[in-house]
Structure 1
Amino acid sequence: MVTTRSISLAIPDFKTMSDDDVQAHVLARHRDGRWSTQTRWLLSMFGTDKLELNEAWAENWTDWTCPACGRAKIELARLTEQNVLLCQLDWHHDHLRDHASRLMRAQLTGNPGEVERRAARSISAALPLIERFSETLLCNDCNAADAAMKAQLGKQVPSYFSFRPSEIARFVVVEPNRTHRLDVAAGEEIWDEVSADLAQRTEFAEMLGDRIGQGQHEREEASFALRQSTDDRKLFFALGYEVMSARAKIDGIAAGLIARSRSTAGRWSTTKSKASRKVQAPDQATFERLDAARNSSSRWWRESDDGWCCPCCARTKFEIVRKSNEGDWTASIMAVNDFRAETDPHSLSRRGLYHPGPIVLASHYQIGMCQDCRQILSDALTIRPGNVDECLSLAQLRGLIEGPAPHTRHALSAELIGLSIDANTDWMAGVADYWSHHRHASDISLEHYRIMQSTGLSAAGARDIAIPKLVAAQKLPADGAAGWFDWFMLEEKRMRAAPGRAGAST
């Protein structure tokens, strides 16, 4: 009696496929991108080969319409002053949510880490009761119209106010393939209607913050329990995932499709470095207020001592404080991965079976980096879509900064960032191999643990069962399998014991 069925699948490589092949693929059926017939037609109609098409546009199908202005994509695309075809959708969110979160966190007292853990769930549960609308995908022009109308209304409108999508629809004057004009009188009318409600919601946030700060509004959650999926699609994926080795997992398909769909040619069409605005330095009182706020809200800031300086640009906590686009003082310390090279000859020999080099990495740890250095990695992903955060090493990041200065963003060259990524294939291959090795060792250790748990055998007894099972699954080489098993187990233990992060001071 037949109890199983077999099928074969071809894993798509979207990076190398033609536009027509991407559009015809079943996984791209309900998506859009630089490969779609509609996008190619729009480029032809507008007479340009420069395209700025973002991820949100790519993830939604060609007939998507904006819920505020009602225009379809074919009416949203427009030329910029630089002759770039802009195809961009943006997520519009209520800034009242951020303001309410700050209000509530400001009333927390006690040990910052303990209080944050205790109150986080309560604050998260309370925020949907305070915000005026949920995050909504809008066209770029409607999202921009929110900020433009607030600028027109002036200081009577607080910075944390956001118009609802339905309210934006009331004050924009809509034309196809053009930015919106504003009906300022309609905007003033809406503000008069909603200002009292905004004040009441702010008072509600302060009241909840007071209760949460006193421990009177805690929200208990059930202990973690995994609900096993009975969805056929997830089970089917699990079948394919489990039969593949740790170094041939089915991954990167979604990232490859997004990278193939987006285009940033317009944004980075210039090679000029970003010009810095006039530099302003905070006074000591301003820094102390920001420092206290960051100590309360950010673990990385809190655990980086007063002697910390950015491992990339060498600026201190005080020196990374700068004015944001909105004119507020801002500073952040953000976590990124750094790596140590493999130097052990025995490990290098075994790793060479899977990755001949030239870059072989042994371990990773997290470091705290200033927000402006971290922004280089974000920029890298828009300059060369489809790469990962670790496409540039720490040493390469340092080399990309043109004269770091206190209290201002770094001056960066898009061309230099792109060329650095293009020349960095050995590094990225080393990083990819490291994570495959990390996963490979973890899979082998987990299989050994499962056998121990299910059979009650000792570690040695489970080892005798695990080795032939792993060889049959092609997770261990057949030649010298016992030695490979023992080495992978040691590797898993070594990587698990490696420090999770660097010291606070650099």
Structure 2
Amino acid sequence: TLICNDCNTAEGKAKSRLGDLIPSYFSFSPREIMRFIQVKPNRMHGIDNEAVRVVWNEVESDVADRLAFLDILAGRLKAGGHRIQGNPPQFWSPHALTSIVPRLASQQGHDAESLYRIPGIVSERSVRHDGFGVSPRLKRTASRRPSLEDLAAFRTSQGVETPWRRVVPDWRCEVCRRDRSEALRLSGKGKWTGRLHRHLVFTAERDPQALFWRVGDESWMGAFRSYRVVYICQDCRQVVTDLRSIDASYSENALSVSDLRDLVTDIAPNRKHDVNIPAARARADQNYEYLGLIDDYNRHRSQSISLTIELTTLTGEFRMGQEEALIELRPLAWAPGFSDDQLRERLDWLLLEGRRLRR
């Protein structure tokens, strides 16, 4: 995709402002760049620093998933996996069956061409590995605890803005409860690995009025009010990564912290978890209502914050009066199940929500 020089420059500046938080080889996509640039004719683009961080927070998990997959692939290649195997030897000679194939064809009602394939079918052996995640047990390798020097070196390798450096000294994984030294393990390339990953824990909306404005008379459906960010270890996050390796349609929120606690049971220091991936898939498939509530929360957050920004723009840049601006925005508060008379009151509530959610 071709982009202009100003967008390319803005993308580089945005990455520099995130510092060590992002890999040096990462690049924002054109759609992502569009979200944080401030465009004016015949001038260099400005950059919304808050928007840059929002965009990075949204894509960070996906980037981490890709890096984790590459690490797994590198380890398998180093161990000799994924080698191309040639055609298996032929233990049958098609010529030896030449005289009997036509007779078999006439007696069994099969065409001779399909029967001539019998020798190859018989002599072939499957070289396909078991499906990913189907093997019941993980092949264990001896674990090794990192020394103080190993820990210091790994800490130095992590940027000052990375979760590893920002979490509290006594941090423990929200899922497996291992501390940072226990969460480190040797990768397939013989290097210490143990990134920490953001995970969202959502809280339910308890305010009856808020539930009414969110879902109307269907308050029994529930809604999420907010979320908090927790950090989990790389091996707990790997469960979600493995799911998305099987099927990219799985969301990064496919499994909650509670789900992961149920699934991650074989826990030991400095060792990858042994997780039943089919069970993880089954749990993720059951979470459609949970994921629906997350989607609803994201839509609500986006709508309310957008209305707040739009009100500021109308009253500031366009110098509208407050009441005139609210009349202009009123149609944007429409939602199924609400009458026109309720839109102004719902708009006022959405603006309050926008201010709350922007904090």
User: Does residue 1:324 correspond to 2:229, yes or no?
Assistant: no
Change (3 A) 1:475 1:447: farther
**Superposition pairs for residues 72-471 of structure 1, below 5 Å?**
117=17, 179=84, 267-268=131-132, 270=134, 272-294=136-158, 296=159, 298-353=161-216, 356=219, 358-467=221-330, 469-470=331-332
Deviations 1:188-235 (A, max 9, x none): xxxxxxxxxxxxxxxxxxxxxxxxxxxxxxxxxxxxxxxxxxxxxxxx
Q: Which amino acid aligns with 1:438?
A: R
Query: How far apart, CA to CA, are the structure 2 residues paired with 1:334 and 1:146?
Result: 21
Q: Which residue of 1 aligns with 2:342?
A: 480
Unpaired runs of 5+ residues, structure 2, are 1-15, 26-72, 87-128
Query: How far apart, CA to CA, are the structure 1 residues paired with 2:341 and 2:132?
Result: 51
Q: Which residue of 1 aligns with 2:353?
A: 491
Q: State the SS of the aligned residue for 1:436.
A: helix
Query: How far apart, CA to CA, are the structure 2 residues paired with 1:452 and 1:373?
Result: 47
Structure number with greater Rg is 2
Q: Which residue of 1 aligns with 2:91?
A: none
Q: Which residue of 1 aligns with 2:107?
A: none
> TM-score, normalised on structure 1?
0.44
**Following TM superposition, by how much is the alpha carbon of 1:353 offset from its aligned partner in structure 2, in angstroms?**
2.8
On the 8 A contact 1:359/1:426 being kept in 2, the answer is: no
Further displaced range: 277-286 or 480-489: 277-286
Query: How far apart, CA to CA, are the structure 2 residues paired with 1:466 and 1:358?
Result: 28
Query: How far apart, CA to CA, are the structure 1 residues paired with 2:145 and 2:333?
Result: 62
Change (3 A) 1:124 1:386: closer
**Following TM superposition, by how much is the alpha carbon of 1:479 offset from its aligned partner in structure 2, in angstroms?**
3.3
Q: State the SS of the aligned residue for 2:157.
A: helix
Q: State the SS of the aligned residue for 1:483.
A: helix
Q: State the SS of the aligned residue for 2:244.
A: helix
Runs of 4+ residues over 4 Å off in structure 1: 116-121, 144-148, 354-357, 471-477
Query: How far apart, CA to CA, are the structure 2 residues paired with 1:400 and 1:419?
Result: 11
Query: How far apart, CA to CA, are the structure 1 residues paired with 2:215 and 2:334?
Result: 22
> TM-score, normalised on structure 2?
0.61
Aligned residues: 252
Q: Which amino acid aligns with 1:491?
A: E
Coordinate RMSD, CA, aligned: 3.5
Q: Which amino acid aligns with 2:228?
A: Y
Deviations 1:435-490 (A, max 9, x none): 111122123223323322343124344223322x4368999852311110011011
Change (3 A) 1:493 1:409: same
Change (3 A) 1:269 1:455: closer
Query: How far apart, CA to CA, are the structure 2 residues paired with 1:495 and 1:457?
Result: 24
Deviations 1:307-364 (A, max 9, x none): 1111111110111011101111122112222211111111112222397553411112
Unpaired runs of 5+ residues, structure 1, are 1-115, 126-143, 153-177, 182-264, 498-506
Aligned sequence identity (%): 23
**Following TM superposition, by how much is the alpha carbon of 1:267 offset from its aligned partner in structure 2, in angstroms?**
3.0
Query: How far apart, CA to CA, are the structure 2 residues paired with 1:124 and 1:320?
Result: 24
Q: State the SS of the aligned residue for 1:349.
A: helix
Change (3 A) 1:487 1:454: same
Change (3 A) 1:456 1:476: farther
**Superposition pairs for residues 12-91 of structure 1, below 5 Å?**
none
On the 8 A contact 1:400/1:412 being kept in 2, the answer is: yes
**Following TM superposition, by how much is the alpha carbon of 1:270 offset from its aligned partner in structure 2, in angstroms?**
1.8
Further displaced range: 268-277 or 344-353: 268-277
Change (3 A) 1:354 1:383: farther
On the 8 A contact 2:160/2:166 being kept in 1, the answer is: no
**Following TM superposition, by how much is the alpha carbon of 1:117 offset from its aligned partner in structure 2, in angstroms?**
4.7
Change (3 A) 1:355 1:421: farther
Q: Which amino acid aligns with 1:369?
A: I
On the 8 A contact 1:403/1:411 being kept in 2, the answer is: yes
Query: How far apart, CA to CA, are the structure 1 residues paired with 2:187 and 2:75?
Result: 18
Q: Which amino acid aligns with 2:358?
A: R
Q: Which amino acid aligns with 2:238?
A: Q
Q: State the SS of the aligned residue for 2:356.
A: helix
On the 8 A contact 1:341/1:363 being kept in 2, the answer is: yes
Change (3 A) 1:343 1:151: closer
Query: How far apart, CA to CA, are the structure 2 residues paired with 1:145 and 1:309?
Result: 28
Q: Which amino acid aligns with 2:319?
A: G
**Following TM superposition, by how much is the alpha carbon of 1:151 offset from its aligned partner in structure 2, in angstroms?**
8.1
Q: Which amino acid aligns with 1:495?
A: L
Deviations 1:122-144 (A, max 9, x none): x959xxxxxxxxxxxxxxxxxx8
